[in-house]
């Protein structure tokens, strides 16, 4: 890990134009030197938009009555996993709104069991929010090995402005620690350029990731959703894109061997935004594998792209684009976080 100060990060985040492009090139070279030029593809299955939380920025928040709620059955989740496997992918991400009721968690455990039974080599990442430690253990036993839980912001006072009671910052951190303890590859991330956020907050976010010693990161620019309480706040999309890309490049510089996703939110702000993320040092892309009909209902923010109906076609076009960038699409390689492999080796030799 490279050490860096908060003011140094703030200066890097401010870079624009030619200096910014050069910075991204350096970050991209750091990726190549540390973890090769491979780009891993994860099939993203957004299996339910039912959510018990009321995050003030999010379109699928509990209080939004203007969206159609859906939840895929275990068989439907399996069918999406089948599609990902048929497209040659060896890794999927199951994401949903947050629910802690037993119906939900047992459905998910059963879905994991079905997937692992049919596709024993499939690597499964979960992103289903805060759960009890025992439930995380159950998911791990059923074959999920990676977990993504965004902290959203590393400042407790900023967290309070984005999340109503009873959500709590310390509970989220506790969950991240539990996940790591259980043996998951742990990912977190923040929304970039969210309301009330400062550059100093973003710099602290990077330092938070290093302190937590994360294995993976999924960060994306905040994009307003018109049915949320924060939608009226002034929003500059170009600033969001630039900061989103610079955050990737800074993180790659300080944590050279972690997996960093180039997210859909970048693509929403600018066509080709996801590719810019790769050029800034990201090494993971997550093509959509949810059933086409439910994609518009997983509306985290306005104008979220629905993707291409034929997942396989989309995978092929993504692969082509990656090659055009001079990078290597790696579908068969499960893309375990190099940082995780090194950290586990270090722990066992102690
Ligand atoms: N329930 C899961 C997944 C939630 S949705 C969990 O809690 O981890 C996944 C991510 O979408 C969230 O973590 C959040 O960072 C992002 N998101 C939500 N609303 C958004 C918005 N308006 N703009 C950009 N990203 C948003």
Residue 96 scores a pLDDT above 80 = yes
Q: Is residue 212 part of a domain?
A: yes
What is the per-residue pLDDT for 308?
78
Query: From residue 103, how far is each of 65, 71, 151 by CA, in Å?
Result: 22, 12, 25
The CATH number assigned to the domain holding 224 equals: 3.20.20.70
List beta partners, residue 185. 146
- pLDDT tens digits, residue range 29-60? 999 999 999 999 999 999 999 999 999 999 99
In angstroms, the CA 69 to CA 16 distance is 41
Residue 152 CB–ligand 1 contact under 6 Å: yes
Which residue is closest in CA terms to ligand 1's atom 19? 58
Residue 201 resides in a domain: yes
pLDDT band for 172, please (50, 70, 90 cuts). Answer: very high
**Separation of alpha carbons 129 and 132, rounded Å:** 10
**125 touches ligand 1 (CB under 6 Å):** no
Residue 102 clears pLDDT 90, i.e. is over it: yes
- Ligand 1 pocket, residue 163 CB under 6 Å: no
Separation of CA 191 and ligand 1 centre (Å): 8
Quick check: is 113 in a domain?
yes
Atom of ligand 1 nearest to the CA of 228: 22
Predicted local distance difference test score (pLDDT) of residue 306 = 81
Q: What is the pLDDT of residues 207-222, one digit of tens each?
A: 999 999 999 999 999 9
Q: 350 falls in which pLDDT band (50, 70, 90)?
A: low
In degrees and rounded to multiples of 5, residue 175 shows phi and psi of: -60, -45
The pLDDT assigned to 3 comes to: 84
CA–centroid distance, residue 300 to ligand 1 (Å): 6
Q: How far is the CA of 349 from the centre of ligand 1 (A)?
A: 37
The pTM assigned to this predicted structure is 0.97
pLDDT in tens, 322-339: 999 999 999 889 999 999
Best substitution site from 55, 59, 197, 301 to test ligand 1's pocket, by max atoms within 8 Å of Cβ?
A: 301
Residue 1 lies in a domain: no
Binding site membership of 330 for ligand 1 (Cβ less than 6 Å)? no
The C-alpha atoms of residue 346 and residue 281 are separated, in whole angstroms, by 25
pLDDT band at 123 (very low <50, low <70, confident <90, very high): very high
Work out how many domains the chain is built from and give that number. Answer: 1
Domain extent, residue 137, equals 6-349
Nearest ligand 1 atom to alpha carbon 51:
1
Domain for residue 30, yes or no? yes
CB of 217 sitting under 6 A from ligand 1:
no
DSSP H or E stretch at residue 170: helix 169-182
**pLDDT of 171 over the 70 cut:** yes
Percent of the chain, pLDDT > 90? Answer: 92
Cα end-to-end span (Å), the chain = 19
Q: What is the DSSP string of 27-65?
A: HHHHHHHHH-SEEEE-EEEEEE---S---TT-TT-TT-T
Cβ(209) – ligand 1 distance below 6 Å:
no
What atom of ligand 1 comes closest to residue 189's alpha carbon?
15
Separate counts of helices (H) and strands (E) for the chain: 14, 11
Which residue of 190, 222, 305 sits with most ligand 1 atoms within 8 Å of its CB, as the best mutation to test the pocket? 222
Average pLDDT over residues 244-253: 98
Going from the Cα of 123 to the center of ligand 1, the distance in angstroms, rounded, reads 22
């Amino acid at each position: 890990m490279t050490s860096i100060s908060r003011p140094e990060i703030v200066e890097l985040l401010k870079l624009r134009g030619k200096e910014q492009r050069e910075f991204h090139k350096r970050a991209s070279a750091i990726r190549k030197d540390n973890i090769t030029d491979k780009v891993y593809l994860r099939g993203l299955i957004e299996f339910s938009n039912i959510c018990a939380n009321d995050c003030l920025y999010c379109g699928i928040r509990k209080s939004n009555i203007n969206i159609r709620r859906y939840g895929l059955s275990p068989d439907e989740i399996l069918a999406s996993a089948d599609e990902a496997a048929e497209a040659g992918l060896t890794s999927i991400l199951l994401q949903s709104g947050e629910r802690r009721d037993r119906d939900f968690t047992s459905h998910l455990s059963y879905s994991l069991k079905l997937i692992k039974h049919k596709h024993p080599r499939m690597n499964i990442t979960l992103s289903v929010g805060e759960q009890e430690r025992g439930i995380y253990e159950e998911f791990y036993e059923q074959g999920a090995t990676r977990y993504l839980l965004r902290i959203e912001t590393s400042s407790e006072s900023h967290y309070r402005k984005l999340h109503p009671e009873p959500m709590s910052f310390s509970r989220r951190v506790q969950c991240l620690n539990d996940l790591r303890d259980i043996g998951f590859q742990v990912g977190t991330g923040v929304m970039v350029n969210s309301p009330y956020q400062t550059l100093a907050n973003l710099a602290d976010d990077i330092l938070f990731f290093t302190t937590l010693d994360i294995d993976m990161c999924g960060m994306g620019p905040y994009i307003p959703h018109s049915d949320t309480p924060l939608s009226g706040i002034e929003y500059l999309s170009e600033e969001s894109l630039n900061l989103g890309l610079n955050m990737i490049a800074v993180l790659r510089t300080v944590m050279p061997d972690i997996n960093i996703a180039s997210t859909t939110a970048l693509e929403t702000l600018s066509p080709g935004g996801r590719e810019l993320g790769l050029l800034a040092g990201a090494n993971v892309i997550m093509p959509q594998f949810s059933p086409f009909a439910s994609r518009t209902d997983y509306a985290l923010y306005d104008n979220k792209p629905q993707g291409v109906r034929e997942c396989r076609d989309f995978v092929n076009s993504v692969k082509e684009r990656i090659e055009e960038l001079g990078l290597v699409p790696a579908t068969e390689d499960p893309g375990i976080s190099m940082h995780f492999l090194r950290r586990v080796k270090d722990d066992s030799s102690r």
